Amino acid sequence: MVASSNRSGALRHGEVIETSTVGFLAESDRLHHLPQLGELVQARIDDDLTAYAVVSFGETSGIDPGRRAVRRGSPDSADNDVYARHPELDHVLRTIFRTAAVGYAQDGRIRHALPPVPVPLHFGVQPCDEDDVRAFCERTDYLASLLAYRGEVAAEQLVAAHLRWVDATLDDDHEWLGRACRTLARLMKRDYDRLVILLESIDPDNS
């Protein structure tokens, strides 16, 4: 597997504001604009090392935890009108997303393992293009670490969201999805009930 070269910061989802070995929390550059649940994203650690992570949670709330959001709209002024009427909201609210680390690329090689060091704080989080996704997801063994995810979202929900997102990104007549499902069937052979629920939720013919 060979990773594509990293992009510059011009195109990015946001910036890392909390970081650890198992993933990072990032703040979106624009309010309400965040990568999808299950989306594969990347963040540069240094010139030869790039971390890959799957978006596992998103949230929009007040920057100051002591200030709760209150209703601003009315039947006459709702949704986007609220933001036009309160331009300060763009500055006092923020959108954040959490990710689960699933691998890294070092010296051009992709590994499905936790990165050796966390992504530095305040580094950018970039989207992965189709080539990045194809390269990273070529082997599907990293799904084991996603299945073991513990966080705000149940692991099956996260895996299902990721499979749907990769399937839509690759647009390969579900060839990759079929392989990923076989990997899941192997990984979850002792948990048939959960596997069935997961597979049903990603059935492309039902979506």
The residues that touch another protein, with contacts defined as CB under 8 A, are 64, 67, 70, 83-88, 90-92
Q: Phi/psi zone of residue 174: left (φ > 0), alpha (ψ -120 to 50 degrees), beta?
A: left
Least distance CB 9 / another protein (angstroms)? 23
Residue 85 vs 150, nearer CB to another protein: 85
- Helices 175-187 + 155-170 axis angle, to 10: 160
Residue 85 vs 186, nearer CB to another protein: 85
Burial group, residue 124, by CB count within 10 angstroms (0-12, 13-18, 19+):
buried
Least distance CB 94 / another protein (angstroms)? 13
Least distance CB 76 / another protein (angstroms)? 13
Residue 144 token pair: 């084991």
Residue 91 vs 190, nearer CB to another protein: 91
Residue 57 vs 83, nearer CB to another protein: 83
Distance from C-alpha of 35 to C-alpha of 91, rounded to nearest angstrom? 20
Distance from C-alpha of 183 to C-alpha of 95, rounded to nearest angstrom? 33
Least distance CB 58 / another protein (angstroms)? 23
Radius of gyration of the chain (CA): 18
Residue 71 vs 190, nearer CB to another protein: 71
DSSP state letter for 154 = -
Least distance CB 28 / another protein (angstroms)? 17
Closest CA to 3 of 56, 50, 68, 55: 50
